[in-house]
Amino acid sequence: MEHQLLRSNAQTIGIIGEGGVGKTTLAIKFAHQHASSFPGGIYHVHADAFKSLPGTVSHIPNNILPYLLILDDLELHESQQHHAEVSELHRLRPSAKIIHISRQSLGLHKNNVQIKLSNLNQSEFSELLKILKISENHSNYELEAFKLTQGNPFFAHLAAANEGFTSQSIREIIQHIKSFTQPGIIDANGFPLKAGTLEERRILHDVQLVADDLLAKAYGNPNLLYEITPRRFEEFVAELLARLGYEITLTPASRDGGKDIYAAKKDDLGSFLYVVECKKYAPGRRVGVNLIRELHGVVQAERATAGILATTAFFTKGAKDLQQNISNQISLKDYIGIQEWLAKVFRK
């Protein structure tokens, strides 16, 4: 990557591999190590299935100084269109060096380097679990975890992130997110739709319009949560809470003052008001301690019973530690917590 983007005249490099294998981590690590080589800035952008690549980055300043564009989730684009759009990006943004990230092969020029990342072998996976200090009581699941995940490092990091924070074993955690290794959508006749096709993208868009359908599809394929907009995620969480027996008020789409949803419930013990904040993040991103502090402040200002922070991603250790100190006032729901809500709704 250093040779391609810093020491040669090449403008582009591609990183491909299945979800969770470390493509984005590699790109961001490179960006951090070589930040001084990009005085025009570093920009990380997720592809939009309904926009061209030039349209996706149109909000980014076209600096005359060298800058770095990290274009993520490019599997959403048709490969035959990709080459033309990349050429257009090069023409419009000559100062940009571009890292393309995708789960499938990219339509890059033959002179551009494409790095393929693969899963860990069993020995490497075991070593990663040791580095992440997974406790001894999980050791019985080591082989089973490797078989279930096929050596995907994301699962090992997930297990470590939840160590001491959940009573679930590695096996139970993996079962919650097993769909990561089996992505896909089926049509009304039960036949799988090929990823990236117009029909699949149309479903990803239209399914958001019907609450019942969205809940069902998210229950069968949790990856769908990463395809919807942040506002749709708020509506999704509101619908879940409504199905769980809460009276819901969804705040306006902007200027919500740190609160997306009011959830009220009345039972024999009295009336309860919860302030819910929703964060739709990519799976590799962590929700930090600052958002916990902000939500806690909102709960105090609103004189609410408690606050709930719901996210498609996961929480940092600092965020979890702070929540433990104010556990009666703040509840955290990460990707697994959302799946538990869904399971509870479908059990009903």
pLDDT at 79 over 50: yes
Model confidence pLDDT, tens digit, residues 183-203:
455 555 555 566 666 665 555
What is the band of 207 on the pLDDT scale with cuts at 50, 70, 90? very low
Asked if residue 254 has pLDDT above 70, the reply is no
Distance CA 274, CA 305 (A): 6
Mention every residue, 6+ apart, whose C-beta is less than 8 A from residue 122: 143, 146, 151
How far, in Å, CA of 65 to CA of 37, rounded? 10
Q: How far apart are CA 309 and CA 331, in angstroms?
A: 6
Selected residue with higher pLDDT from 290 and 216: 290
Most confident of 30-34, 73-77, 216-220: 30-34
Structure tokens at 156: 């090992």
Specify the pLDDT at position 47: 79
pLDDT tens string 146-161:
777 788 887 777 666 6
Categorise residue 95: left if φ over 0, alpha if ψ from -120 to 50, beta otherwise. alpha
pLDDT attached to residue 199: 64
Domains and CATH numbers, the chain: 2-116 (3.40.50.300), 122-181 (no CATH), 229-347 (3.40.1350.10)
Instruction: Give mean pLDDT, residues 101-116.
Output: 79
Instruction: Work out the end-to-end distance of the chain between its first and last CA atoms, rounded to an integer number of angstroms.
Output: 51
Whole-number pLDDT of residue 132: 77
What pLDDT sits at residue 165? 47
Q: What is the pTM of this model?
A: 0.51
Task: Using the predicted structure, report yes or no on whether residue 75 has a pLDDT greater than 70.
Answer: yes
- Better pLDDT: 111 or 146: 146
For residue 244, what pLDDT is reported?
A: 86
Read off the pLDDT of each residue in 102-109 and give the average, rounded to a whole number: 76
Give residue 15's region: left, alpha or beta (phi > 0; psi -120 to 50): beta
**Highest mean predicted confidence (pLDDT) among 45-49, 122-126, 154-158, 276-280:** 276-280
**CA gap 128, 153 in Å, rounded:** 8
pLDDT, tens digit (0-9, with 9 covering 90-100), for 229-246 = 888 888 889 888 888 888
Specify the pLDDT at position 15: 93
Q: Give the residue with greater pLDDT, 195 vs 264.
A: 264
Regarding predicted confidence, which is higher, 134 or 88? Answer: 88
